Amino acid sequence: MSKLRVAAFTLSIDGFGAGPDQDLKNPLGIGGEALHKWMVGTRTFRNMVGEKGGTTDTDDGFTVRSFENVGAWILGRNMFGPIRGEWPDGSWKGWWGDNPPYHVPVFVLTHHEREPSVMEGGTTFHFVTDGIHSALEKARAAADGKDVRVGGGVATIRQYLQESLIDELHLAISPMLLGSGENLFAGLDMLKLGYRCTEQVATPDATHVIIKRD
Q: Which residues bind its own copies (CB under 8 A)?
A: 13-15, 31, 171, 173, 175-180, 183, 185-186, 188-193, 195-197, 199-200, 202-204, 207, 209, 211
Which residue, 52 or 192, is less far from its own copies as judged by CB? 192
User: What is the nearest approach in angstroms of its own copies to the Cβ of residue 178?
Assistant: 7
Q: Which is nearer to its own copies, 138 or 158 (CB)?
A: 158
Q: Which is nearer to its own copies, 13 or 49 (CB)?
A: 13
Of residues 124 and 207, the one with the C-beta less far from its own copies: 207
Least distance to its own copies from the beta carbon of 3, Å? 19
- Provide the minimum distance between the beta carbon of 31 and its own copies in the complex, in angstroms, as a whole number: 8
Closer residue to its own copies in complex, CB, 100/152: 152
Give CA–CA dist 28/10, Å, rounded: 11
Q: How far is the CB of 84 from its own copies (least distance, A)?
A: 24
Q: Are strands 168-174 and 206-213 parallel, antiparallel or unpaired?
A: antiparallel
CB of 169 to its own copies, least distance (A): 10
CA distances to 59, 95, 104, 131, 156 from 23, rounded to whole Å, are: 27, 11, 26, 24, 18
Report whether 14 contacts 179 (CB < 8 A).
Answer: yes
* Nearer to its own copies among residue 10 and residue 110 (C-beta): 10
Q: Distance between CA atoms of 36 and 85, rounded to whole angstroms?
A: 28
Asked if the bond preceding 15 is cis, omega within 30° of 0, the reply is no
Q: CB of 204: closest distance to its own copies in angstroms?
A: 7
Distance CA 174, CA 66 (A): 17
Neighbours of 56 (CB within 10 A): 12
